[in-house]
Each structure stands twice: as structure tokens, then as C-alpha cells.
A = this chain, B = another copy of it.
Amino acid sequence: MELMATGSSEKLKDILPLYESFLKDLIYPIERECVYGSFKASLPKLKALRELAKEKGLFAPHLKKEEGGLGLSLSEFGRISEVLGKSPIGHYVFNCQAPDIGNMELMHQYASKELKEKYLKPLQQGEIRSCFAMTEPQHAGSNPVHLSTTAIKEGNEYVINGHKWFTSSADGASFTIVMAVTDPKNPNPYQRASMILVPLDNPGYRLIRNIPIMGDVGEDYMSHGEVMFHNCRVPVSNLIGEEGQGFVLAQERLGPGRIHHCMRWIGICERAIEMMCKRALSRELDPGKALAQQQTIQQWIAEAAAGVMASRLMVLATAQKIDQEGAKAAKEDISTIKFFVSDVLMKTLDKAIQVHGGLGITDDTLLSFWYRHERGARIYDGPDEVHKTVLAKRILKKFAE
């Protein structure tokens, strides 16, 4: 499937195979029990793998060298992220999983020294986990201007009230970053909200439930929380960035965040193609006549592979642009890959299931997990339709002049 090597610097030539064999030897054997069984019960095994990753110098590849990472550019990390995406626990083992990676990036840039010391460091070292509370059940996530959660300043504290959901991985997390309205009367709706860090042992915070998603309630890291802030008080110094900067920071956070998703999705596609090919080669319709000889199956494999080739190049090009010009300059590219790659992903999974026949809909393979849990890919961080509109408006603008 290694259709092209674009973006691979010399450095990666040595490193990528290390990740690949780590996955095949150590992660593939336990991945299914982690995602279909109890994630909590798997924590000791996962912790051991993380230790091993640290020993091998592979842990947290996205971080700077001085922070314990590999000091890679975003496009270099993209190649690793694709490999990790082949397993649903790949990123977790190397501590570069969403939503933590997004919070690390955000705090690295905007958190105070104090917050960095207290929260970012242990997060980077994999000692604690975090979450991000933005989406609200009462408002369409596709238009984030509308937020009901408020943070009212009282003395040295913010008093936060609000209802959030899709706060992924809240269960077991140590802190969340919450998006709340601090200046409701600001005429510019994009300057009304701020981001505030809330430790989750705060009595004003409550995890209402892990939302059952596509058949799984989930637990610990593998969960999506519905949470409530009720007179939740945190010191003003827990503000990330400045007051009113919520949307600016959200954009900063979500841009690379979408890239991370896309990289991971490509890894999933590659694994799905691998599974599809192996199944097609081993499954016989008649003795000696493997499924792989069916022209329709061949067409699907080719279409999936073309989708992967397109996706990888687009994502790497976008990562390169971010590396060189910043996330803002790549805004439309990010929108483009968000809807393009998620479409390739879901089509590839659908075909992989069809090739597997009955087996494809069972939980005996990973396809069922991805088919269910990645359906959200076309919804979260902005549904396809919104990203298409973003891109179209920018193109139309060029011709409107």
C-alpha cells in the first residue's frame, strides 16, 4: 500500500519501521480485547506498553525533543500518525491521542507557566488524561457561535454553569478545558467566549453519563461524556489565553486536530484494505476460486487504494502548509481534507465489510468498531456540509472580484 513516499524525510526512514513492528508485535495482539472488552481492565497492559514505548524512545512523537518527544514537523508526524491509526489503540499507547494531543498543543501555546507545570507536564508524560468541553446538546455544533454555558467572574473566580456533551474521554480524566461565554454582550459573537481549565475533582462538575454511542457506553478513555457544570468555581488564573479569545483558540486547536483525525483515518483505511485483501485471498467461492478473483472486489480494492493515495497526499500537503505558513493559511485545505478523507474512510470501511460478508458485521473483526465509531467522522469537528460551504465560499470569493 506504500504507494508513495512523499513527505518522508530521511529521519522517518529509520523510525517508521520501528513503529510498524511495535504495532504488529505488541499492539495488534491486544487491540480487540481493549476495544471490545473492558478498557479499564486493559489499563495495566496499556501502561506497560507505554513504558516500553518510552524506553524505545518512541513515546509522544509529536512533542518537541525537550518535552520528551521526537521533534518532528507536523508532516513528519503525519507519517507516524498514519501508522498508529492502523490500530484503534495506536495513538493511545504513544500518548498522542485526541483529545489530549489537542489540549497539549493548545496549552503549549497559551497556558500560563503555572498551568503548564501543574497540568501540561503530567499530560505530556501520560500520567493524567484530559478532555475538552465545547459542544452543547441544545445547540447545533455546526454553528459554535451559539453557546449557553457561562462563566461569570466573581472576585478571583469564574463561576461556570452549563451543559455539555461529546466531552470525549471525560470518564477518568483529570481536567477539562471548557468553552464558556464570559462576555455575552460583546457585539462580536466571536469574542464572547473563553477557554477555562477545570480540574474534574471540582464539586461543581458532574459526569452525567457516558453517552452510549453506536452500541457502546464505553468507559475511561474510550467514552464520550455528557457533563454538567453547576456553580462550578475555578480561579481566574485557570483561563487559557485571554478572555474572549475562545473562538480564536478553538480554531487554533481544531485546525491541527482535524489533521490528526485525517492522518488516523488513512491508517484505518490501510488496515481495512489489508483486511479486505487477506479475506478476499483466503475466502473461496468454489474450491480454487478465491473471492479475490471477482472483478467487483478488485474494483473496490482499487477504488479504496486510490482514495488512500489521494488522502495521504492531501493531508501531507496540508500539514506542510501548516508547518510553513501556519494553520490559518491552511484553513480551506483543512476543510477540504476533513470532508474528503472522512468520505474515503467510510466508503472503504463499507466495502471492507461487504468483502467480509457475515463476518464483517460481527465484532470478530475491527471493521465493526470502525464502522460504528468513525461514522461520527463526517459529523464531529464540523459536518461535511459546513466544511464544503467554507471551501466553496472561499473559491467563489476569488471570482466575485
A363 partner, pick from B212, B299, B309, B311, beta carbons under 8 A:
B212
Contact with B along A50-85 (1 / 0, CB 8 A): 000000000000000000000000000000000000
B333 touches A358 (CB 8 A): no
Residue contact B385 to A296, C-beta cutoff 8 Å: yes
Indicate if the CB atoms of B383 and A4 lie closer than 8 Å: no
Q: Which of A142, A295, A354, A363 has the most CB of B within 10 A?
A: A295
Report if A314 contacts B (CB, 8 A).
yes
B residues less than 8 Å from A221 (CB atoms): none
Residues in B whose Cβ lies below 8 Å from that of A314? 306, 309-310, 313
Interface size on A, residues (CB 8 A): 89
Judged by a CB distance under 8 angstroms, whether A141 is at the interface is: yes
The verdict on A117 contacting chain B, using a C-beta distance below 8 Å, is no
Query: Which of chain B's residues have a CB closer than 8 A to the CB of A398?
Result: 1, 277
Interface SS, A side: helix
Q: For the complex, is A362 an interface residue (Cβ under 8 Å from B)?
A: yes
A218 CB to closest chain B CB (Å) equals 10
Q: What 15 new A-B contacts, CB under 8 Å, besides A298-B388, A302-B389?
A: A4-B321, A36-B212, A140-B357, A211-B363, A299-B388, A302-B336, A302-B387, A305-B391, A306-B314, A306-B339, A306-B391, A309-B317, A309-B340, A354-B384, A357-B379
Show 30 residue pairs from A and B whose CB-CB distance is below 8 angstroms, ordered by the A residue: A3-B333, A3-B336, A4-B333, A140-B357, A141-B357, A142-B285, A146-B286, A211-B364, A213-B361, A214-B214, A214-B362, A215-B215, A277-B398, A277-B399, A292-B396, A296-B296, A296-B385, A298-B396, A299-B385, A301-B395, A305-B392, A305-B395, A306-B314, A353-B375, A353-B379, A354-B383, A354-B384, A354-B385, A357-B379, A358-B379
